[in-house]
Structure 1
């Protein structure tokens, strides 16, 4: 992809970033270098006139599931709320990273904490997008027992995006785990029915069903590839696209 000459395929997108994307390669904490690398791409995407919403995870800081073996000391719902707070920390880091690059942002949280983030209000989020601001969506859905995949599907549907860009460590959807099976085959394109019929892992099934019902395409791609987020927005054939 040339540095300056590309045209976006989509006008409004939702990028789903795992917490690991902002982490230190398997270690806990926030990597400013990783945040900056992602931020540079997002800056160039917004400069193309794309309306961008970002759902952030919190796995680099805390996963609710890590308390599952702790007996009754920490309840599952409490653990999930702790994970939601971790996504707000990542959201703050991404917000400051982008604003240091001159990109206007708004951080909205489904868990109310007005001293650090706006509450998530759909109409307000839409207005920010229309004004060219990156809307960072933290706090999941505000409810326990669902994943940030569900938050991405829900917010993508609410905000009328054209595609959910799911950034992962793997360059698409395979018929087996490519990190375990060297003969796993990658799909370039899938239908919703094929995913359901073969039990393929695209995102958690509740989130996937929400996208399927809304006919909202999902692009699964490896964010570590060179300028992968920009290439995804440009509509280049990377990753796996799941559509009707």
Structure 2
């Protein structure tokens, strides 16, 4: 209560959301619903601000010149804290910190497109800091808007974690694609031979960890395959290649079945 009175006396802090796609809109809406901040948004249009920015949320795609673009926004808007919500190549947040300085964290958004707002509330918002002070401020900011957080040791952990999280999901789908092919080769029903076995099987004796129940569709969307391509820029992996090969094969199978 004491913190709220102090904030009311001084007025609301200013928050700028840069990038207004699905991630940016969702972050904006979560902050807006809290009613605790004065919000500004910037997409492709120019935005000049006289107000001092306390927190800047970066929600733009991980483009090739991402480091320079974000460093430019930091120089222009001079936020006290910068939070990078974008999925980026590992090491990106540290490069921005080295180029622009200041208080910066990486905190990826998790959830299902396009309803990411729900995911921001439901999933723990991991914070990958470039300094202890930056992490503390980011944690206080997220918790003030009702978002659960967990602090990581560094930004590279949250950057790698987000990419591996989506890739793990893609790997499971790719294996379901292959299991579907095996079922077809035997004339077996996928729903019974795979789905029912997975739905009724757990990986521990106390039945707390269920197996994933997925379907052998084509992997499309905004995250899974693009995030694999980010990893492939730095990592050689047969697993990643096999996911991509299986997915292209599945695409052709579905087209041939039409």
TM-score (norm 2): 0.31
Higher helix share: 2
Q: Which has the higher contact order (CA 8 A, sep 6+)?
A: 1
